[in-house]
Amino acid sequence: MINSSTTRLRPHSARRDPPGFTLIELLVVLAVTGILAALLLPTLAKARGRAEAMGCLNNTRQLALSWLLYADDHDGALPYNLVLYGTSLRTNLNWVNNVMTWDLSSDNTNPATITQASLGYYINNPTASLCPSDRALSTVQMAAGWTQRIRSYSMNAMVGNVGPYTANGYNINNPTYQQYFKLSQITRPADIFVFLDEHPDSINDGYFLNKDAGPANQPPSYGPSSYTTGGNQEWLHLPASYHNRNAAFSFADGHAELHHWVDGETVQPIQPDVPYLPVAITSSGIDFQWVLSHMSFQIN
């Protein structure tokens, strides 16, 4: 028997549901959320940018290590660093065997052009050839569903065997500068860079070239006929500036560092299929001189 004096049910009509949010309270919550997102997103973007810069730096360091291992296995001889752009030459003797383009050439996507080339055996990380910040694609490539190309890095033109561009032991592109064929020739390895991340509008083959300004009207010795020196300083190939106006470099002693650009000509927007190179240097030229002085040393 149920004791009615101790067990009583409240009528349904007497129960109260917990109060909900008012419209004003919801609007306040949304406003606060928006403010927090606005504050946090730039911080997250900066964190992502720093992480990608460190990833790029690590890639160039790995490439330098593979380069040193190659030299160790070949009695100090450095890998081939040949001009492929503008030629029919293709060889896996070179450190890479592709020419980056803005069309649908398989050179842009075929990993064998890297893994089967001379440094491929020594590169443990298959993604070490691509900067994490390099997502540059042309309209044609995006329409084809591409998400990225496969190489962001090039090798200093004054380092390695340049094949037919060698004359009397020198590189005909910079004949008054030392060409390094063997590791032992690099007497100041901490000052000579080997790899860098190159601007996507500049990168083609793996041969990164800039010339000391020669006599006026000096004929070009690399690439298409539009490449001239004219006795003035100009960028033939541009370093990248993905990382807040910085580019990653690795050096002949194995260390890697980010270098910051100060001149406006050095920091160019990505413009697929827009032929604007070479870029004349009209400002201080500090960036150009830094790159030139770390490519090689002048022959006394």
User: Which tens digit of pLDDT belongs to each residue from 250-284?
Assistant: 999 999 999 999 999 999 999 998 889 999 998 88
Average pLDDT over residues 182-190: 97
Interatomic CA distance for residues 192 and 178, integer angstroms: 11
Give yes or no for residue 226 having a pLDDT over 60. no
Average pLDDT over residues 176-186: 96
Interatomic CA distance for residues 121 and 70, integer angstroms: 9
Q: 205 or 21: which carries more pLDDT confidence?
A: 205
pLDDT tens track for 79-91? 999 999 999 899 9
Q: 282 or 230: which carries more pLDDT confidence?
A: 282
pLDDT at 231: 52
Token pair recorded at residue 57: 């730096």
pLDDT at 295: 97
Average pLDDT over residues 32-53: 70
Contact yes or no for 243/258 (Cβ under 8 A): yes
Q: How confident is the model at residue 28 (pLDDT cuts 50, 70, 90)?
A: confident
Neighbouring residues of 71: CB distance < 8 A, sequence distance ≥ 6:
77, 78, 79, 182, 183
The neighbouring-strand residues paired with 171 are 166
Q: Write down the pTM of the prediction.
A: 0.81
**H or E stretch at 291:** helix 286-295
Residue with the two structure tokens 């790899």? 195
